[in-house]
Structure 1
Amino acid sequence: MQPHISMLALLLLCSVARGQASSAYADSVRQAYHIPELAYAVVSADAVLECQVLGIQRQHSDLRAKPTDRFHLGSNTKAITALVAAQLVEQGKLTWTTPFLSLFPELKAASRRCYWRITLQDLLTFRGKLPAYTYSFAQPTQARIIGDNATQRWRLAQYFLAQPPQSPRDGLTPSNADYILAGLMLEKATGKTYKALVTDWGTAHGIAFGFDYPNLTDVQQPWGHSPAGIPLPPADNYKLNWLLSAGNLNVTLPDYVKFVQLQLRGLKGQTAELPQPVCEQLLFGWPTFAFGWFNKTDQETQHHVAYNEGNAGAFLTQVQLIREADRAYILFTNSAAPETAAGLAVLQAHLQAKYGR
């Protein structure tokens, strides 16, 4: 098994924000596309090729970026949820084919028949047929989904199971509702909260995951920015609480590097922590979208690429893992403006031209 890169070593790598490798180019992209803070890394299974944190934590401030800054992951949370699920499957606490309603039989009578047999695997691979849902949807209303956070997510499951199903597109029915239900399954099977499960898994791997927008618990952390570029002050967002297991984790870039390198080592069969068959299943086991990861074949290189993007309206994060190239590209920002994505596309192209795809 490859040794873990220490947090101190990663912090030192990420602390060199100028004059090394592509950082000057990345900072010019950041400024040209009006991105307050930009963090990025290029890694292989056993090396950190670049790791930079640039810019400012908050627009119209002099709060400089630092390696310990945390970024909201949005939908990149899904791969972490799926990995925790895989661990529970390995431990025999669940199976991929466990039906949701076998754990929550009290919801069956009010559920549509098309949902009676949806399984953990269906939910984690966007094949649950549940209606589309994300934080911008008006329904259901907060007044309808009452109780503490755990009860609210149970009531969300009740609500979604009573709605008409989605029609598949390319075999998928993408919905954050799938991951809400999957998170409930992990909690029911273990008797632990989702937050405890993720925290425990992270601690075991030297990764400190957080929840919600980073500035909610520490105003000295980066603030997210609206699509109009406005800094968003700390605020508890009930919809993000609903979407906890679908898109509400935060993490530092050095810690996320550890998470990504675990996947790369798993793909190469280098670690017992994530056996190669399990890793292959999670990233590439189903066409188009496996367990928390979209996947595709690069038509020029024929390399297999697992990827996802997170955007809950304040941060934009993009991740790509390329199996045959043994490369991963991680791009984090605290901005959700349309031009942010354009800037990341420019930086991604530059980095892949340098390090391969």
Structure 2
Amino acid sequence: MTQPLAIALSLLALTAQAQASPESRAQALLDAMREAGGVPGMSAAVWQDGKLRWQGFSGLRDVAQKLPVQADTRFRLASASKPFAAAAVAQLKAQGKLDVDKPVGALLPELEPAMAALTPRLLAAHLSGMPHYEARDASVGGARHVAARESLVYLKGRELRSAPGSRYLYSTWGYTLLAAAAEAAASQPYLDLLSSKVAPGLAIGPDQTGQSPAMSQAYHFVGQRPQPAPAADFSYSWGGAGLAATAPALAEWGGRMLQGRVVDAATRDWMWRPVLDNAGQPVGERSFKMGFGWRLDSDAEGRRTVHHAGSTLGARSVLLLWPQEGAAGGTSVSLLSNAMWTSSIERSAELLSAPLRPPVPGLAAQACPLKASRFDGELDGAAVQGSASFRRDADGLCRGELSLPDALAKVVNPGPQPAADKLVVIGLQGDLARAALVTPIGLADWRAQADGSVRVEGVAGRRLMLRLAE
């Protein structure tokens, strides 16, 4: 090859690389994640520094009619509904209409004594001792309710699982009670409170799957194939699991929280402080501590995050916020899907939004390995190896495919979604200085190392090291 031709080809490659915009990277990740998980439809959005920065849509909202996911498609939020109930209570607290440390029985005298003694603070932080779903709840979801207070009938005869304040015990029923308390304190139906005070003007409201053309259909996996999910009415717990939203609306609502527009800044910061148990210790599980309706955490760089995820029939969802990122108010990311699938969805939302957030400093460079044909490495110290191929797409984005060794397949193919026979790599920063390894259980964090190897974090908690070779 002549020197002028080599220089021209190099310049062409650099030009192609520059065309890979942050938005195109995010959309490529969303598409690849949906395909890997076998989920019919997904939607995501990023709000940043005061405005909606990006919104992405992938797949179908209705498989039978082949209708695509669109900007106005609403998805079930499942437990990502919980921060809305917490925000309603926090608004009432700030207005002096509700004392979060006063028993809810003063507002709801029909409660049995044990639950009447619980406080909003205990309920919001899952410190109340309230049970989560039980065997008796198999038939719940067959009736439509018009007020949160109507659902208190489902709490009759239930016993607390632990002494109030003694330990973290996740409970959606606790949020059924929390929403009823907000409704009583506001003297306003919960859905009216939501639309007028908590999320006014946004495409956020009750789940109306099967009742509204704006809603995505709901799916579940049967034999690793998505099938229409049985009908379910979540009005028994609007506070805990019963809302729906578009991805752009959910991300914008997160932005409003960051800006102090849902609750004032002082109340917001109070919500985002750890709640303490009776022994004075913060409570939570996995990596997060529990605030007032929000999970308090950090990302892969140790930057502060707050979030809440959800999983139920026909839904997997998350809202993830970076309060201190950016010059004008932080970043809010939503990720919604219309099937319940096994996923590390908080990490997936973090990586999906990475192209639109500040780059990670000090990463080792890794050019797109166009000549790579194989890899070897270790999964928790055990050897893995397979074939590899990489290319640049029309946008200049570096993409790769790795065959799936048996040891790694056992980790990333837990079901119920379809099993994969390969993994996809999509560049996030530079070419492959940072990338996303796309698996059936979501996105994992690929980072180039100074010695030429790759460290992958977020594969179901496993340690994965890889080396590419020609």
TM-score category of the 2 structures, normalised to the smaller one: 0.7 to 0.9
Match of 2:456 in 1: none
Cα distance, 1:225 vs. partner?
0.9
Contact 1:149 1:242 in 2 (8 A): no
Residue 94 of structure 1 pairs with residue 98 of structure 2: yes
Residue 105 of structure 2: SS of its match in structure 1? helix
Match of 1:349 in 2: 351
Between the aligned residues of both structures, percent identity stands at: 19
Match of 2:457 in 1: none
Match of 1:15 in 2: none
What are the Cα deviations for residues 237-270 of structure 1, in whole angstroms up to 9, with x where unaligned?
A: 3xx222221111011122212201112223xxxx
Residue 301 of structure 1 pairs with residue 301 of structure 2: yes
Cα distance, 1:350–1:241 mapped onto 2, change above 3 Å: closer
Cα distance, 1:170–1:29 mapped onto 2, change above 3 Å: farther
Cα distance, 1:199–1:116 mapped onto 2, change above 3 Å: closer
Q: Mapping of 1:1-357 within 5 angstroms?
A: 20-108=24-112, 111-112=113-114, 115=115, 117-133=117-133, 137-140=134-137, 142=139, 150=147, 152-160=150-158, 163-166=159-162, 171-201=167-197, 205-212=200-207, 214-219=208-213, 221-228=215-222, 229-232=225-228, 235-237=231-233, 240-266=234-260, 274-286=263-275, 287=282, 288-298=289-299, 301-325=301-325, 326-338=330-342, 341=343, 345=347, 348-352=350-354, 355-356=357-358
Q: What is the letter of the counterpart of residue 138 of structure 1? A: A
Cα distance, 1:57 vs. partner?
0.9
By relative contact order (CA 8 Å, sep 6+), the higher-ranking structure is: 1
Residue 215 of structure 1: SS of its match in structure 2? coil
Greater mean alpha carbon deviation, residues 181-190 or residues 217-226: 217-226
Cα distance, 1:41 vs. partner?
1.6
Q: What is the letter of the counterpart of residue 334 of structure 1? A: N
Q: What is the letter of the counterpart of residue 249 of structure 1? A: L
Structure number with the higher helix fraction is 1
Question: What CA distance in whole angstroms lies between the structure 2 residues aligned with 1:323 and 1:344?
Answer: 16
Question: What CA distance in whole angstroms lies between the structure 1 residues aligned with 2:231 and 2:143?
Answer: 19
What are the Cα deviations for residues 296-339 of structure 1, in whole angstroms up to 9, with x where unaligned?
A: 244x633221111111221111221122222222111111123x
Question: What CA distance in whole angstroms lies between the structure 2 residues aligned with 1:257 and 1:310?
Answer: 15
Residue 302 of structure 1: SS of its match in structure 2? coil
Question: What CA distance in whole angstroms lies between the structure 1 residues aligned with 2:63 and 2:216?
Answer: 10
Question: What CA distance in whole angstroms lies between the structure 2 residues aligned with 1:242 and 1:147?
Answer: 8
Contact 2:122 2:164 in 1 (8 A): no
Question: What CA distance in whole angstroms lies between the structure 2 residues aligned with 1:107 and 1:342?
Answer: 37
Contact 1:21 1:50 in 2 (8 A): no
Question: What CA distance in whole angstroms lies between the structure 1 residues aligned with 2:185 and 2:352?
Answer: 45
Structure index of larger Rg: 2
Contact 1:36 1:59 in 2 (8 A): yes
What are the Cα deviations for residues 58-105 of structure 1, in whole angstroms up to 9, with x where unaligned?
A: 235421121010011111111011111111122222111221122233
Contact 2:321 2:332 in 1 (8 A): yes
Question: What CA distance in whole angstroms lies between the structure 1 residues aligned with 2:229 and 2:66?
Answer: 16
Question: What CA distance in whole angstroms lies between the structure 2 residues aligned with 1:277 and 1:44?
Answer: 21
Q: What is the letter of the counterpart of residue 93 of structure 2? A: V
Contact 1:30 1:343 in 2 (8 A): no
Cα distance, 1:19–1:322 mapped onto 2, change above 3 Å: closer
Match of 2:401 in 1: none
Greater mean alpha carbon deviation, residues 317-326 or residues 62-71: 317-326
Residue 22 of structure 1: SS of its match in structure 2? helix
Question: What CA distance in whole angstroms lies between the structure 1 residues aligned with 2:183 and 2:265?
Answer: 26
Cα distance, 1:173 vs. partner?
1.9
Match of 2:428 in 1: none
Question: What CA distance in whole angstroms lies between the structure 2 residues aligned with 1:30 and 1:142?
Answer: 31
Unpaired runs of 5+ residues, structure 1, are 1-17
Q: What is the letter of the counterpart of residue 174 of structure 1? A: Y
Cα distance, 1:177 vs. partner?
1.6
What are the Cα deviations for residues 97-144 of structure 1, in whole angstroms up to 9, with x where unaligned?
A: 221122233434xx34xx5532111111111111222xxx3225759x
Greater mean alpha carbon deviation, residues 245-254 or residues 323-332: 323-332
Q: What is the letter of the counterpart of residue 139 of structure 1? A: R
Contact 2:89 2:182 in 1 (8 A): yes
Cα distance, 1:249–1:130 mapped onto 2, change above 3 Å: same
Question: What CA distance in whole angstroms lies between the structure 1 residues aligned with 2:296 and 2:349?
Answer: 21
Contact 1:36 1:56 in 2 (8 A): yes
Cα distance, 1:46 vs. partner?
1.4
Contact 1:314 1:335 in 2 (8 A): yes
Question: What CA distance in whole angstroms lies between the structure 2 residues aligned with 1:47 and 1:146?
Answer: 39
RMSD: 3.1
Equivalent residues, number:
318
Cα distance, 1:35–1:141 mapped onto 2, change above 3 Å: closer
Question: What CA distance in whole angstroms lies between the structure 2 residues aligned with 1:236 and 1:221?
Answer: 14
Residue 226 of structure 2: SS of its match in structure 1? coil
Cα distance, 1:176 vs. partner?
1.0
TM-score (norm 1): 0.78
Q: What is the letter of the counterpart of residue 257 of structure 2? A: Q
